[in-house]
Chains A and B, each alone.
Chain A
């Protein structure tokens, strides 16, 4: 491991790493555009200038080096901030700005643009370029992506992404010199399942997500770290919300889960949160749920109430649900889930899981694999043959295709309670209907397909009539004589950690923003 010095501080860097990677790993920021830790380096923006000196007998350095293409070597001395280095950056910025349109007032990237940020940091506002600017195209590149070519700095991050990560190669640079710009083959749009990552990685406002275009100014918005709920990969993400509404869903790095990326489906699958199908008002309340369920059991005996949950619910919710099932002597428990197609693995290693729910791993742990495979069918049969009189159905899966056996059976129930997020056939038939919160509207924990526990966080409030399920379930349990007060999700998680050996020692602080693997390996699962 070569020992190097950066700004006087000694570092050990793995051999074969570049200076910028070594700095990045050590938390030292070097301004850059074309470099990205998840892509091969290009060395074209020339922004990551640093002063590199090797010990004698090496000659003194001539000028500055780009950190992204300089490999670390024993004894290397790197300076990342100095008058000389900063002048180099100023000069690169000057060149970047001469043809760059003054689009900030209409550009989505404003407020999170490193061209703006570094310009303010190193240059200030004056330009000495007084010539006609070069004009390049503005056009659609695909169903979700539009390019403002005048803003493009030809860093080629997007081109490299489509070559290296998806292997689809839809993007290219056309023409030469200051006419060069990113484009597609005429008539072949960029349309792969990971396409919108190129918008995330565009350092400027050239590539724009049409779904986010003109929707929000980032300085009026709040960003919340969370995890995507659209499949069991559990990509780490950030939700951007403004005025209580979700505006955007982007990825954030987690080297153990999704590296730097997320898929378009997960990214765009937030429209239902604000959608017209959301349940905003119900019938009855959590107390009534508890009381009515108790009376069914009293009249018809153990096993007369069944419980159906889903693998979309959080660890805390499923934990409470299990308590509820136990309190109601529900011998039959089913778990709804949703799987589509096959696992998709991309050239760069990114994976989209076929399981389109975020918490199957915990559902299996809590209720057993049978609950997922045959639980719902068994309950439907029980309703049909009259052994199941009452059902508590806690769904939460948006746009679920309901098993027809279950939908038909619902009519036969004596009593049906539904806790859900959307208007569904079950909701219409329910005696007690409790509108619930979606993943973006509550705190909680999901366990992904790799048995990693990760936190979701509330980014927006649920609609006025809806409540987070942990509140609803605890209110029902209190009605059944279990528990004394309603705890927050964090409080419930503390109970989870005391109950399940796999969660021993974990709490919200430990899970942080990157999550943690479960403590004890679950049967047949990686630790």
Chain B
């Protein structure tokens, strides 16, 4: 059967291509069209797309095999994707996988003979408060147990299954939510709802009262006479909410002034939320997309960017649909397009879906993917602000960061700085998961003690003792219970404590957790997600996993801890991007802070948390 799009789809493809300055950038969206029209991405399909886009078939093949989320011809009707990364594993994710595997009679990567089911273990789905979780098609399913998943499979076998949207839960605390204020209200993701609660007033204010750049004056010409948006955000002290914590206004100021660089500029919203333990952006996208769009409008205006792309991870299919609907509403309402809100400012916003790769959350990996390639991070310098997307000045900001901007513009710097600390001002959504009673997204002022956060999350599950805490996404160095209970949740305090705030993904581990098993889980994650470009990360992530596997399975050797540390050292700071560091930090910190436990594994030649051969501890494999 020859693969060919009908005229309607061909026109749709052309409309998509027109949203990018280079046709190759439409490759990933084109592959999604192929997937939609034919149910999967096949080899003849790849040849067809190659011709349509104007690249070689080999280029398309390299792209398709890089990502994990495209459906392939071997996939069955229901692709059951069980999250296997640490936060879900801590709450029975691997048990769920094993149960499902037994029920379906297949293992990871396999499809049932009747082609009804494919089973896959996947990496963090950004749904950690609802662990253990499963994705089928676009839909997420939460807190699964053997009986609920059996019921689901049963319905699927009978052909009667209908996906039910899982409700969001935002635990109420004494801290007044700001970004999350309206996420649980029905219709909160519509334009009508947004405008009714004062939506787009901040953008209006930004255009009316601010220019991008400050007016300078004074005797030396270096005094700010009238503050511009970039300096406003700089003064607010807002720091990136995606993981690096880089001062946002400072990043914006690195973009060359239009008079110095005539190239078009781009604003890219990083919606690739993939750092294990982080699940805040998903909620913001699905439940309050206009808040994000308003932030994009203001940020684009500040950076003199007339085109913005929202790079959203492939698994967030529902989020992409909701975003596109909001964007369509915004265009219709005059908030986007040739003449934003009557100001003459032009802004086009395009949703660009990823296809399953953690490394596309790295800003330059994201740009490579946006340009239609494998998600390979780029060498820095040059930095994206100077030479980024399509070699033009580009600002890449996280969803939460951008969504905070309208609030700063509307309510001012003093208001923003009234929360948090001097160096880490403002509110932050902390995603708490793992062994707590009430996992969830907690919007709190930066700087609150971890001890308070733990209390808000209901304390350690089942009254168990706290053992370890990952404070800022799986890449963050682990804190012992003692260290965690003494630390405050802000960028600098956690930095001083030898870890980092990162993305704010907090993973709590109780006394029954095997730290060797936990770190093995994370090493498998980084090994799986390394793009493979540069030598130390490509080879090192594999080596780290293999050592941790042996340690957990009772084949540890005397020198392993020293080896683990040194391999990590040979990776840190020696690569194109920091995924290597992100893999080395857990390997080094877990094996150092829980040294006795690692040594016991080596000495006993088994995992002491395994009570019997059949027993699988509350861990990761």
Spell out A's residues near B (CB within 8 Å).
Answer: 43-47, 62-64, 69, 88, 91-92, 94-96, 98-99, 128-132, 134, 153-154, 168-180, 183-188
Contact = CB atoms under 8 A, between A and B. Distances in A.
Interface string B444-488: 000000000000000000000000000000000000000000000
B56 A178 contact: no
Given A46-B574, A95-B535, A188 B58 contact: yes
Given A46-B534, A131-B550, A170-B58, A98 B576 contact: no
A91 B535 CA distance: 10
A180 B531 CA distance: 8
25 contacts: A43-B534, A46-B535, A46-B574, A62-B573, A64-B574, A91-B536, A91-B570, A92-B535, A96-B535, A98-B542, A128-B559, A129-B543, A131-B547, A131-B550, A168-B56, A169-B56, A172-B62, A173-B62, A177-B529, A177-B531, A177-B538, A177-B541, A177-B542, A183-B61, A186-B43
B575 A134 contact: no
A177 B58 contact: no
A337 to B, nearest CB: 37
Interface string B571-612: 001111000000000000000000000000000000000000
Q: What is the interface residue range for chain B against chain A?
A: 35 or more
B123 to A, nearest CB: 12
A94 to B, nearest CB: 7
Given A154-B538, A178-B542, A185-B47, A173 B532 contact: yes
A175 B543 contact: no
A177 B62 contact: no
Given A174-B61, A175-B66, A176-B357, A46 B539 contact: no
A184 B530 CA distance: 22
B534 A96 contact: no
A180 B538 contact: yes
Interface string B59-93: 11110011000000000000000000000000000
A134 B532 contact: no
A178 B530 contact: yes
B539 A95 contact: yes
Contacts of A173: 62, 374, 532
Contact of A46 (B62, B532, B536): B536
Nearest to B66: A176
A206 to B, nearest CB: 15
Given A91-B570, A177-B529, 12 more contacts: A43-B534, A45-B535, A47-B535, A134-B542, A168-B56, A175-B65, A176-B531, A178-B538, A185-B61, A186-B61, A188-B57, A188-B58
A94 B570 contact: yes
B440 interface: no
A131 B546 CA distance: 7
Nearest to B359: A176
B496 interface: no
A180 B570 CA distance: 21
B543 A131 contact: yes
A172 B59 contact: yes
B65 A174 contact: yes
A169 B51 CA distance: 13
B166 interface: no
Contacts of A131: 543, 546-547, 550
Contacts of B56: 168-170, 172, 185
A96 B357 CA distance: 24
B540 interface: yes
A162 to B, nearest CB: 8
A180 B65 CA distance: 9
Chain A facing B: main interface SS: loop
B148 to A, nearest CB: 33
A91 B379 contact: no
A183 B559 CA distance: 37
Interface in B79-117: none
A132 to B, nearest CB: 7
Contacts of A128: 559, 563
Contacts of A91: 536, 570, 574
Contact of A95 (B62, B531, B570): B570
Contacts of A153: 535
Nearest to B545: A131
A177 B573 contact: no
Most buried by B among A43, A92, A183, A185: A185
A43 B379 contact: yes
A129 B534 CA distance: 19
A98 B543 contact: yes
A175 B557 CA distance: 31
B55 interface: yes
In the A-B complex, list the 4 residue pairs whose CB atoms are closest, starting with the nearest.
A169-B56, A172-B62, A180-B532, A95-B539
B58 A95 contact: no
A88 B527 contact: no
Contacts of A170: 56, 58
A346 to B, nearest CB: 15
Nearest to A63: B573
Nearest to A170: B58
Contacts of B536: 46, 91-92, 95
B121 to A, nearest CB: 15
B528 interface: yes
Contacts of A45: 534-535
A96 B546 contact: no
Contacts of B576: 43-44
Given A132-B546, A173-B532, A185 B58 contact: yes
B532 A175 contact: yes
B61 A88 contact: no
Contacts of B58: 169-172, 183-185, 188
Contacts of B57: 185, 188
B541 A63 contact: no
A456 to B, nearest CB: 37
Nearest to A95: B539
Nearest to B376: A44
Of the listed residues B57, B357, B539, the one surrounded by the most CB atoms of chain A closer than 10 A to its CB is B539
A169 B55 contact: yes
B485 to A, nearest CB: 33
Nearest to A47: B535
A62 to B, nearest CB: 7
A375 B66 CA distance: 61
B506 interface: no
A179 B66 CA distance: 10
A216 to B, nearest CB: 30
B65 A95 contact: no
A173 B63 CA distance: 9
A178 B62 contact: no
B533 interface: yes
B46 interface: yes
B574 A88 contact: yes
A478 B2 CA distance: 74
Contacts of B65: 174-175
A94 B569 CA distance: 13
B383 to A, nearest CB: 13
A179 B527 CA distance: 10
Contacts of A183: 58, 61-62
B524 to A, nearest CB: 11
| A92, A128, A178: residue with the most chain B Cβ atoms closer than 10 Å | A178
By CB atoms of chain B within 10 A, which of A43, A96, A177 has the most? A177
A64 B536 CA distance: 14
Contact of A63 (B60, B535, B574): B574
Contacts of B541: 177-178
A491 B463 CA distance: 99
Contacts of A132: 546
